[in-house]
A and B are shown apart, each in its own frame.
Chain A
């Protein structure tokens, strides 16, 4: 490994370790997620029971979609790292620029830890519930099914890595907005409304009306849930998976490029708060 990459990984590791301390918050989060997962399955199950036409997804695919969503909800880029927020309001951003690191990738490293550490904490109990507990309490049809095939599982893993990158790229854009806004709470509130809907977290995207589908297909947030979850369940066939992942990756490249140039632009006009 190049020493160059090592310094960024050290940042990820340090922040990751720090975030793993918030275990009680994670446990509370798990309970909420499980509750929401069950509610969603009840509602969608009721719709499926009375459907007059064939729904666009099988119920098994819906179950996979819902549980993967609930388990990985921490990845959704609808908030930003409070530690970075603090840097902007207190002027600590000055120290960030003193490190011999590229500012964008330095923050990308921090953001990667911020997105993955809490998610990892919540993921494990969530998966245990969705895979093992549900069949035991007599709800096997609600349990998280395995991937459609080994190949689907592998494709899902690739797509999922891109999802993490996409989530970080969007989160960093919220962070960068603080160069102008100082306080990103307003933008985060906006994202809180937009991201869950357009990623498919609230309702799986294939269930939206037909006239919305072209728009839903091309927008970036779809790569956060819809693409990897449907590859997992086989709702996106293997023949389409590469194409879908390419689109996902394209958005990652565009958003990273946008963030990168915004940071360079903001650097020139930087004002450090608090002298």
Chain B
């Protein structure tokens, strides 16, 4: 029996529409038009204990909706969903006592209270026994380096500090599952690295199951053995990073900055993704070292950078491929 089981999960929202402008506003008073938006369509997957799974997809793909259903906040329209044998929205209170959730864009800490008081309040809310609370709290403070932040009111924390405190807050009650919704969004490089290292550590050492949504493919590569790719409410891929790259273009982006304005050789014409006066961005499918050799030989290169294509591009090409298949 997997720890998280999702079968044919669908969720749609009803959105009130109105025509723009003053007449639209008046019209809306008399007659509301609703549009139904499918956030999730027949999504199925299962996750075992101790797995660290990345959940990716563009904005509006339905990632957050999935997290909110799995954590008992939203009720789906149809489909089956069980987490540790419980239906999240039906047995919400028992369920949420065993999970931790972080929404990177919101805080669960009390805005005007010092961090430590928020922690104490969570101890009372989750009814964490005193000794367990103390050892958990001290360990988290140590691991996430929160010692100097404890007496600071939450509103005065920087984003990176706040996210670290939020992650600690989500783990005080020893949850066996952790849902992270864009935990690294907006973080600087140092904070991003420390958050990643921490996630990896608790997953490995305490066998916490982690489901993580992100836009940052680097997050995924650093952390996850397995990824779920969602687009437009549909699950497109359930596999490893290598599967994703292998199936949908294992390309590299080569960004070149030129000393002087130069034209691109005809052989490279088809590889250009973007071009401005002194910058060229190539997308290279195979033999990246050979291509880089050519570039250094043919152009007056001032600087050169090789990256993965952004996740949106990979998913977009994957989505296009899926459409062609149908």
Q: Is the CB of A98 within 8 A of B96?
A: yes
Q: Does B103 contact A (CB under 8 A)?
A: yes
Q: Is the CB of B73 within 8 A of A98?
A: yes
Binds B, one of A50-58, A89-97, A209-217: A89-97
- A14-B68 CB under 8 A given contacts A91-B106, A101-B93, A268-B75: no
A275 to B104, CA, bound (A): 12
- A11-B75 CB under 8 A given contacts A92-B106, A99-B96, A100-B96: no
Q: Which of B106-129 contact A (CB under 8 A)?
A: 106, 108, 110, 112-113, 117, 121, 124-127
Q: Does B64 contact A (CB under 8 A)?
A: yes
A271 to B15, CA, bound (A): 10
Number of A-B contacts (CB under 8 A): 73
Per-residue contact bits, chain B 60-78, to A (CB 8 Å; 1 contact, 0 not): 1000100010011111000
Chain B hits for A267, CB < 8 A: 75, 89
A4 to B93, CA, bound (A): 12
Q: Is the CB of B121 within 8 A of A100?
A: no
- A101-B125 CB under 8 A given contacts A92-B106, A267-B75: yes
- Chain B residue with the shortest CB-CB distance to A3: B127
Chain A hits for B71, CB < 8 A: 97-98
How close is B118's CB to chain A, nearest CB, in angstroms?
9
Per-residue contact bits, chain A 191-227, to B (CB 8 Å; 1 contact, 0 not): 0000000000000000000000000000000000000
Q: Is the CB of B75 within 8 A of A18?
A: no
Q: Does B45 contact A (CB under 8 A)?
A: no
Q: Is the CB of B125 within 8 A of A99?
A: yes
- A95-B106 CB under 8 A given contacts A6-B127, A100-B94, A270-B75: yes
How close is B286's CB to chain A, nearest CB, in angstroms?
38
Chain B hits for A21, CB < 8 A: 112
Q: Is the CB of A10 within 8 A of B103?
A: no
A98 to B95, CA, bound (A): 9
Q: Is the CB of A90 within 8 A of B126?
A: no
A89 to B73, CA, bound (A): 16
How close is B109's CB to chain A, nearest CB, in angstroms?
10
A102 to B97, CA, bound (A): 12
Q: Is the CB of B96 within 8 A of A270?
A: no
How close is B136's CB to chain A, nearest CB, in angstroms?
16
Chain A hits for B93, CB < 8 A: 100-102
A11 to B118, CA, bound (A): 10
- Chain B residue with the shortest CB-CB distance to A100: B97
Q: Does B34 contact A (CB under 8 A)?
A: no
Q: Does A242 contact B (CB under 8 A)?
A: no
Per-residue contact bits, chain A 242-275, to B (CB 8 Å; 1 contact, 0 not): 0000000000000000000000000111111011
Among the interface residues B72, B97, B106, which one has the most CB atoms of the partner chain A within 10 A? B106
Q: Which of A18-38 contact B (CB under 8 A)?
A: 18, 21
Chain B hits for A270, CB < 8 A: 73-75
- A14-B127 CB under 8 A given contacts A94-B103, A100-B93, A100-B96: no
How close is A225's CB to chain B, nearest CB, in angstroms?
31
How close is B128's CB to chain A, nearest CB, in angstroms?
10
How close is B76's CB to chain A, nearest CB, in angstroms?
10
Chain A hits for B127, CB < 8 A: 3-4, 6-7, 100
Q: Is the CB of A97 within 8 A of B108?
A: no
Chain A hits for B94, CB < 8 A: 100
Q: Is the CB of B121 within 8 A of A94?
A: no
Q: Is the CB of A14 within 8 A of B113?
A: yes
How close is B39's CB to chain A, nearest CB, in angstroms?
10
A10 to B122, CA, bound (A): 9
Contact among A6, A90, A272 with B124 in the assembled complex (CB-CB below 8 Å): A6
A269 to B15, CA, bound (A): 12
Per-residue contact bits, chain B 81-96, to A (CB 8 Å; 1 contact, 0 not): 0000000010011101
- Chain B residue with the shortest CB-CB distance to A92: B106
Contact among B13, B68, B126 with A100 in the assembled complex (CB-CB below 8 Å): B126
Chain A hits for B75, CB < 8 A: 267-270
Q: Which of B23-52 contact A (CB under 8 A)?
A: none
Q: Does B101 contact A (CB under 8 A)?
A: yes
Q: Is the CB of A18 within 8 A of B103?
A: no
How close is A186's CB to chain B, nearest CB, in angstroms?
14
Contact among B64, B99, B113, B117 with A275 in the assembled complex (CB-CB below 8 Å): B64
Q: Is the CB of B112 within 8 A of A18?
A: yes
Among the interface residues B60, B124, B126, which one has the most CB atoms of the partner chain A within 10 A? B124
Q: Is the CB of A98 within 8 A of B101?
A: yes
How close is B42's CB to chain A, nearest CB, in angstroms?
21
A267 to B105, CA, bound (A): 22
Q: Is the CB of B64 within 8 A of A7?
A: no
How close is A178's CB to chain B, nearest CB, in angstroms?
16
A162 to B89, CA, bound (A): 33
A136 to B154, CA, bound (A): 47
Known contacts A7-B124, A102-B93; can you find 14 more A-B pairs with CB under 8 A? A4-B127, A7-B125, A14-B117, A94-B103, A95-B106, A97-B72, A97-B92, A98-B73, A98-B101, A99-B125, A100-B125, A267-B75, A270-B75, A275-B64
Query: Can you list 30 residue pairs at the A/B interface with Cβ under 8 Å?
Result: A6-B124, A6-B127, A7-B125, A9-B124, A10-B121, A10-B125, A14-B110, A14-B113, A14-B121, A18-B110, A18-B112, A21-B112, A91-B106, A92-B106, A94-B68, A94-B106, A95-B103, A95-B108, A97-B71, A97-B73, A98-B72, A98-B73, A98-B108, A100-B125, A100-B126, A102-B93, A267-B89, A270-B74, A274-B105, A275-B64
